Amino acid sequence: MVEIGIKGRQETTVTAANVAANVGSGKVKVFATPMMIALMEKASVLSIEPLLEEGQSSVGTHINVSHCTATPIGMKVWAESEVIGIDRRKVTFSVKAYDERGLIGEGTHERFIIDMEKFQSKAENK
């Protein structure tokens, strides 16, 4: 059962593959905002996944974050998530990202718990 206070953490290292210049979000060689968001989502997903029923998963539905400082290639980055709200199938997370020098981004993220088969079928019949 998903509960308020559940935390997650995921980390990576900034490489040429995840900089803005190589993911289409700018021309500079620093950790890309879309990659920071993906790391925040991954921390959130993996924190609740083991608590879901068989056949369930979660999908991201909303994210509101700021990316407040740049991180160069070679530096370690990580994202932390914490469940701060639950409304039936909607789970709200506080998300923060850091590099070796401190906070680089923060905000909120919402996910909905879904039945995978039903969700996939509905998407394919769209």
Q: Which residues are catalytic?
A: 33, 41, 67
**Which pair of tokens denotes residue 11?**
């980390």
Do 85 and 8 meet the contact criterion of CB atoms below 8 Å apart? no
Do 7 and 34 meet the contact criterion of CB atoms below 8 Å apart? no
Q: How do strand 102-115 and strand 76-87 relate by DSSP bridges?
A: unpaired
- What does the alpha-carbon distance between residue 28 and residue 6 come to, in Å, rounded to a whole number? 35
- What does the alpha-carbon distance between residue 94 and residue 112 come to, in Å, rounded to a whole number? 15
- What does the alpha-carbon distance between residue 123 and residue 18 come to, in Å, rounded to a whole number? 29
